[in-house]
Amino acid sequence: MEKKRHDLLVIGSGPGGYVAAIRAAQLGWNVGCVDSEKVSGGTCLRVGCIPSKAMLESSDIYWEAKAGLKDHGVVISDLKLDLAAMLKRKNDIVNILTKGVDGLFAKNKVKRYVGRARIEAPSRVVVAATANAKSGAANEISVEAEHILIATGSVPATLPGVEMDGGRIGTSTDALEFPEVPKHLIVIGAGFIGLELGSVWRRLGSKVTVLEYFKRILPGMDSEMADEALRIFRRQGLEFRLGTKVTSGRIVGKDCVVEIEGEEPMRGDRVLVSVGRSSNIEGLGLEGIGINLDEKGRISVNDQFETSVKGIFAVGDVIRGPMLAHKASEEGIACVERLITGYGHVNYEAIPGIVYTQPEIASVGKTEDDLKEAGIKYRKGTFPFVANGRARCLGHREGSVKVLANAETDRVLGVHIIGPRAGDLIAEAAVAIDYAATSEDLARSCHAHPTLSEALREAALAVDKRAIHA
């Protein structure tokens, strides 16, 4: 068996893994990275964040051309959808970016292994490469490493009773590859992924029905913003059934049949199961070396990201916290910087979450629900995009900005935005929280005119009841 040795071996080449590998290499370590996929980038780049955003952008342009450009004086008389070209554009973007990750590995001298990793000891990993087509035997490589970092991400969760066939009833991965626009797409789950992909296919012409177990959409986000989003999505044509328990789903002839507790079965031609994600740790051999898991099946780590086995670390979707690509990247950098320099830190209060619908929804820090539950006294300022000049010029006036500040210290505790380009606007709020800024700091900072960012400043002014334009 061929043997290799590194200072650090990273298992997983997604946003947590490849970023950690590159940073460790920058700091002088000999680094290897193993992934079972032939291309780098993990779920986010291959079948998650990037391809879904490509489809969201393309479908939004189509939707605007079909229904929103007349107000701009642009009239299109013969509009057609070329779904094959749209899917090709999405795939081309993914291919370019995955090659970019491989280029970064080469630039930073990170050794890339393709195969399934199995941890056999605290400092040894066996990588089983693709099986030989003739013999059926896998080519195994033994990799020794002083430190091992697990960053294998997550996989879509399934729902008991729903029979997945990897096509007509499938996950977000399948919904990125539909060969034709579904007549009726049933989405199970009103979280980030379900709403984004439901929006894609609604814009392209599908009837979309979203089934959600809870009596609200976007569980965990600020409820006031979620309610506002629900009203907007309904106006866009998405149908919602909230407080709905799906008991089964299966293919019957030409239909997908979804059974709902206490209601008549629902029929559609495709079903997207979007009920969350689970840590991807199967086959890593964690039990054999004594790595502890928590009550949710995630890897237990301490504040330094170290597992119960000395020398083995974990970051991203396999540990506690929100399953977000940027959270994984921050943890990967913090983990290796702590190992090499002695210091690494992640401020979990300043990690934004974004739903890339139209309008976008973005959030960072505490929600108003969190503050009420914790009994924290706060002041609130809001500002509507309908009163923002740049939003009116863009033709996207829906939504608002909410700033929550401590009633005593005025420190910004949370910012929540639903509106145009909210995902970009939230970055300023994340920096404000990270640096313990006050709503007064945001209000006193000069924001260029006319820009969407002025809405955030006005919301900060509104905390002290002195918004200028509302």
Bond into 450 cis (ω within 30): yes
On the question of pLDDT at 136 being above 60, the answer is no
Residue 13 and residue 301: Cα distance in Å, rounded? 20
pTM confidence score: 0.96
Nearest alpha-carbon partner for 396 in 353, 358, 426, 356 = 358
Residue 203 and residue 242: Cα distance in Å, rounded? 21
pLDDT above 90: percentage of residues in the chain: 96
Q: Are 329 and 149 in contact (CB under 8 A)?
A: no
55-99 confidence digits (pLDDT tens):
999 999 999 999 899 999 999 989 999 999 999 999 999 999 999
449 belongs to the catalytic site: yes
270-289 confidence digits (pLDDT tens):
999 999 999 999 999 999 99
For the chain, the average pLDDT equals: 96
Q: Are 441 and 426 in contact (CB under 8 A)?
A: no
| Residue among 147, 416, 447, 449 flagged as catalytic | 449
What burial letters (b/e) apply to 179-200, b meaning 16+ CB within 10 Å? Answer: eebbebbbbbbbbbbbbbbbbb
- Per-residue pLDDT band at 3 (split at 50, 70, 90): confident
225-247 confidence digits (pLDDT tens):
999 999 999 999 999 999 999 99
Per-residue pLDDT, averaged over 112-133, amounts to 88
208-230 confidence digits (pLDDT tens):
999 999 999 999 999 999 999 99
On the question of pLDDT at 44 being above 80, the answer is yes
DSSP 63-124: HIIIIISGGGT---SS----HHHHHHHHHHHHHHHHHHHHHHHHHTTPEEEESEEEEEETTE
Q: Are 433 and 456 in contact (CB under 8 A)?
A: no
DSSP 179: S
150-164 confidence digits (pLDDT tens):
999 999 999 999 999
SS3 letters across 384-432 = EHHHCHHHHHHCCCCCEEEEEEECCCCEEEEEEEEECCHHHHHHHHHHH
CA distances from 32 to 12, 22, 38, 77 (A): 10, 10, 15, 55
140-193 confidence digits (pLDDT tens):
999 999 999 999 999 999 999 999 998 899 999 999 999 999 999 999 999 999
- Per-residue pLDDT band at 1 (split at 50, 70, 90): low
431-463 confidence digits (pLDDT tens):
999 999 999 999 999 999 999 999 999 999 999
343-378 confidence digits (pLDDT tens):
999 999 999 999 999 999 999 999 999 999 999 999
Nearest alpha-carbon partner for 357 in 403, 401, 418 = 418
On the question of pLDDT at 39 being above 80, the answer is yes
Residue 440 and residue 283: Cα distance in Å, rounded? 52
Beta-carbon neighbour count of residue 320 at 10 Å?
Answer: 12
What burial letters (b/e) apply to 86-102, b meaning 16+ CB within 10 Å? Answer: bbeebeebbeebbeebb
Q: Are 455 and 383 in contact (CB under 8 A)?
A: yes
Residue 333 and residue 114: Cα distance in Å, rounded? 22
pLDDT above 70: percentage of residues in the chain: 98
Bridging pattern class, strands 360-365 and 353-355: antiparallel
Bond into 420 cis (ω within 30): no
Q: Which residue type does 353 have?
A: G
* Count of CA atoms in the C-beta half-sphere (13 A) of 379: 20
Tokens 């999505």 belong to 233
On the question of pLDDT at 130 being above 90, the answer is no
